[in-house]
Amino acid sequence: MMKNCEYQQIDPRALTVSPSSAQIHTVKKVQRLRRKWEVFPGKNRFLCDGRFILARQSGVLPLTLGLIIVTCCLFFAFDCPFLVEHLTVFIPVIGGMLFLFVTISLLRTSFTDPGILPRATPDEAADIEKQIDTSGSSTYRPPPRTKEILINQQVVKLKYCFTCKMFRPPRTSHCSLCDNCVERFDHHCPWVGNCVGKRNYRFFYSFIVSLSFLTSFIFGCVITHITLRYQAGKSILQAIQESPASVVELVICFFSIWSILGLSGFHTYLVASNLTTNEDIKGSWSSKRGTEDSGNPYSYNSIITNCCATLCGPMPPSLIDRRGFLPPDEAGPAASTSEIELPPFAAKNGTHMCTQSTKDVLERMVHSSEFQGLCPPGIPKTTPLGLEGSNTAAPSTEPLPSAGCSRHHACHSVVTPCPPFSRSSRRDSLHSINPAFRLASPSPSLSHTTLILGDAPDMGFILPREHPLTTGEDEES
Amino acid sequence: MNLQDLQQPAVSSKVFLQRDYSSGTICKFQTKFPSELESKLDKQQFEETIQTLNNLYAEAEKVGGKSYLEGCLACLTAYTIFLCMETQYEKVLKKIARYIKDQNEKIYAPRGLLLTDPIERGLRVVEITIFEDRSIGSGR
């Protein structure tokens, strides 16, 4: 036993395990240490070995960048020479500074982790489920997956996130496009190709404010340019013909100004009242407006303090540790689950779960006998094979109406109609689900479906339900 | 604890201390003494550890003159200053890591416990691992 232990400790990666648990070690990638971003479960893309994070659907970020760069290039090439000659040399200087500021803010918004919460470890998830079990009611209904807490004497409901296996902290929301829980979730912005949350909200705000200045500046300069040419004795048409690029810029700026200025104004209001777009759209605190001056428990009730807290507060660190290395023993199960998950895909009923739990128990026994010597605690006890089957039993598409936002900005498509079940059940399988819990609850596959339905649309929709045993849990208050 | 025990710690169970949101979204952990630790640890010591951690996190997230200055400076430099400067939060996180290591060495390891830095769990929980006490030799 001692010898075994020493051997494992010295060279865990070269460890070849007995054939019964060969599935854990069928990995080919154990040769090199993997970084955590490589096994990140959310729908994100990583660049430069985990230094930059982007949503998988980069949306129209190339378009945004392209529009900005093209407009500015046209401005510098065609309008600036004339204006420098007739007005002042500061015009391209100011233009250049604004352009730089806009581009850097945009890139920082797109490539910064918005405040993604890492998913709960299997032990944590099991602990939470145990707590819910003991505190839940013993009736036929599955226990409600919400927790109520008091924040500044106001009742706030915390919802349980089925994907991330934890109770979401206040102001946290699960983005269905990125498949992550994001702290202080504002919205998912397709123009920027990323979620806007706690960590990148200030970059986003400086992006839209500086962009408003930039578009207004270019618009003003182009108008001045054409006016000057017109005043020099030519007709408007002639002036335009001499500088056709100005018309292009005018058109782009004209259409952008409305949306960008409106968006800046809206976000300035949000910053001043310490709200997120998510909360504003859902009207989370507006029902209290009649009784108090602000029902928002996070507001400091002072515009300046709210602004400072949101924009100038300390920069929180990234919680997902993208560039950290995975411990070698954890690299195994994560890689191998992608190989195991395919066979159980077809199974759809409770009997599947029964065989699963037996398998899990057997694997746990194998694990404990072999990994006794490995020091790092917290080795996942089971190969996480969750109820993929019941996921597929759920309706494949749900008609998700858009967020009903009256503002026409693309940024405010808080929910782009994306079937919530398109995210593969692979996500669930990466986290062990306590099989004992599933077995204990009656008609488990149906209740699991119900609970999954409750998770995906985080924007306050009531989905059509097929099962009478449903709780109104996903209704946003 | 002899050498053999040190080389083969087996995890008996884990206790998770959840976040306390009563003061808002700031990072604060519940100080309720878990029942599993009753036989292993002094309630006083436990509360002191958690309270110190809470105070350190409060210091990290403090919105005051220094953080405003940092924020304004960062804004003016288009946030490029963060490439060379360490933020207030990061400085305190390092302090927290040192404190936890210190606590583990002095108080928790001798009792067969291990405190995990909450940052490794996404600041969701304080994980306390309880190791099986081999020296007593009783089977469980």
Tell me the per-residue pLDDT of A90-118, one tens digit each, with 9 for 90 and over.
899 999 999 999 999 999 899 888 999 98
User: What confidence tens digit (pLDDT) does each residue in A48-61 have?
Assistant: 777 788 877 777 89
The reported pLDDT for the residue numbered A209 is 94
Closest C-alpha among A446, A460, A455, A463 to residue A181: A455
The model's confidence at residue A378, banded by pLDDT at 50, 70 and 90, is very low
| CA distance readout (Å), A91 to A52, A86, A102, A224, A261 | 34, 11, 16, 12, 21
User: What confidence tens digit (pLDDT) does each residue in A295-304 have?
Assistant: 678 888 888 8
B25 vs A123, A170, A315: nearest CB: A170
User: What confidence tens digit (pLDDT) does each residue in B51-85 have?
Assistant: 999 999 998 888 777 888 888 888 778 777 777 88
The reported pLDDT for the residue numbered A443 is 43
Query: B20 versus A134: which is more confidently predicted?
Result: B20
Q: Is the pLDDT score of A309 beyond 60?
A: yes
Tell me whether B90 touches chain A (CB under 8 Å).
yes
What type of residue sits at position B35?
Answer: S
Q: Is the pLDDT score of A207 beyond 90?
A: yes
Catalytic residue flag (residue A189): yes
Structure tokens given for B20:
């306390």
Contact across the interface for A373 and B7, Cβ inside 8 Å: yes
User: For a pLDDT cut of 90, what percent of chain A falls above it?
Assistant: 16
Query: A301 versus A348: which is more confidently predicted?
Result: A301
Structure tokens given for A423:
């995210």
Q: How many CB pairs under 8 A join A and B?
A: 127
Does B18 fall in a domain?
no
Helix pair A303-311, B65-76: axis angle to 10 deg: 60
Contact across the interface for A316 and B79, Cβ inside 8 Å: no
Q: How many domains does chain B have?
A: 1
Residue ranges making up the domain that contains B53: 42-131
The model's confidence at residue A258, banded by pLDDT at 50, 70 and 90, is very high
Chain A residues whose beta carbon lies within 8 Å of the beta carbon of residue B90: 317
Which neighbouring-strand residues pair with B16?
A: B127
**Chain B interface mutation, best of A4, A116, A121, highest count of B Cβ atoms under 10 Å:** A121
Mean pLDDT across chain A: 69
Segment B10-39 shows an average pLDDT of 85
| CA distance readout (Å), B17 to A417, B83, B109 | 38, 34, 18
Segment A396-402 shows an average pLDDT of 39
Chain B residues whose beta carbon lies within 8 Å of the beta carbon of residue A319: 119, 122-123
Min Cα distance A467 → chain B (Å) is 33
Domain ranges of chain A: 40-116+184-327, 122-168
The reported pLDDT for the residue numbered A153 is 80
The reported pLDDT for the residue numbered A16 is 54
Contact across the interface for A101 and B78, Cβ inside 8 Å: yes
Contact across the interface for A314 and B8, Cβ inside 8 Å: no
The model's confidence at residue A401, banded by pLDDT at 50, 70 and 90, is very low
A151 vs B24, B74, B123: nearest CB: B24
Contact across the interface for A377 and B63, Cβ inside 8 Å: no
The reported pLDDT for the residue numbered A329 is 62
User: What confidence tens digit (pLDDT) does each residue in A1-42 have?
Assistant: 554 555 545 555 555 555 555 455 555 545 677 777 777 787
CA distance from start to end of chain B: 18
Chain B residues whose beta carbon lies within 8 Å of the beta carbon of residue A108: 78-79
Chain B residues whose beta carbon lies within 8 Å of the beta carbon of residue A158: 21
Which neighbouring-strand residues pair with A166?
A: A161
Tell me whether B67 touches chain A (CB under 8 Å).
yes
A152 vs B7, B24, B88: nearest CB: B24
Active-site annotation holder among A72, A80, A161, A189: A189
DSSP letters spanning chain B = --HHHHH---EEEEEEEPB--TTSSS--B--PPPGGGTTTS-HHHHHHHHHHHHHHHHHHT--SHHHHHHHHHHHHTTTGGGGTS--HHHHHHHHHHHHHHHHIIIIIGGGTEEEEPGGGGTTS-EEEEEE--GGG----
Tallying the residues shown for chain A, one arrives at: 477
Helix pair B65-76, A201-231: axis angle to 10 deg: 40
The reported pLDDT for the residue numbered A468 is 47
Does B13 fall in a domain?
no
Chain B residues whose beta carbon lies within 8 Å of the beta carbon of residue A6: 7
Chain B residues whose beta carbon lies within 8 Å of the beta carbon of residue A127: 14, 16
The model's confidence at residue A151, banded by pLDDT at 50, 70 and 90, is confident
The reported pLDDT for the residue numbered B137 is 47
The reported pLDDT for the residue numbered A377 is 44
Query: A59 versus A121: which is more confidently predicted?
Result: A121
Query: B17 versus B64: which is more confidently predicted?
Result: B17
Contacts of A278 (CB under 8 A, 6+ apart): A173, A185, A186, A187, A414, A459
A309 vs B18, B60, B63: nearest CB: B63
Structure tokens given for B72:
């304004």
The model's confidence at residue A324, banded by pLDDT at 50, 70 and 90, is confident
Contact across the interface for B129 and A378, Cβ inside 8 Å: yes
Is residue A79 a contact partner of residue A225, using CB atoms and an 8 Å limit? Answer: yes
What does the alpha-carbon distance between residue A249 and residue A95 come to, in Å, rounded to a whole number?
A: 14
Contact across the interface for A373 and B8, Cβ inside 8 Å: yes
The reported pLDDT for the residue numbered B109 is 86
- Which of A132-136, A236-240, A425-429, B131-135 is the least confident region? A425-429
Minimum Cα–Cα distance from B61: chain A residue? A314
What does the alpha-carbon distance between residue A392 and residue A375 come to, in Å, rounded to a whole number?
A: 38
The reported pLDDT for the residue numbered B133 is 67
Contact across the interface for B89 and A316, Cβ inside 8 Å: yes
What does the alpha-carbon distance between residue A246 and residue A252 come to, in Å, rounded to a whole number?
A: 10
Contact across the interface for B25 and A118, Cβ inside 8 Å: no
The reported pLDDT for the residue numbered A476 is 39
User: What confidence tens digit (pLDDT) does each residue in A64-90 have?
Assistant: 999 999 999 999 988 888 888 888 888
Q: Is the pLDDT score of A453 beyond 80?
A: no
Does B14 fall in a domain?
no
Tell me whether B70 touches chain A (CB under 8 Å).
yes
Does B73 fall in a domain?
yes
The model's confidence at residue A205, banded by pLDDT at 50, 70 and 90, is very high
Min Cα distance A5 → chain B (Å) is 8
**Chain centroid to CA A171:** 13
What does the alpha-carbon distance between residue A61 and residue A190 come to, in Å, rounded to a whole number?
A: 7
User: What confidence tens digit (pLDDT) does each residue in A156-181 have?
Assistant: 888 888 888 888 888 899 998 888 89
The reported pLDDT for the residue numbered A363 is 52
**B126-131 vs A166-167, strand pairing mode:** unpaired
In a 13 Å sphere around the CA of A223, the CA atoms on its Cβ side amount to: 9
Does B89 fall in a domain?
yes
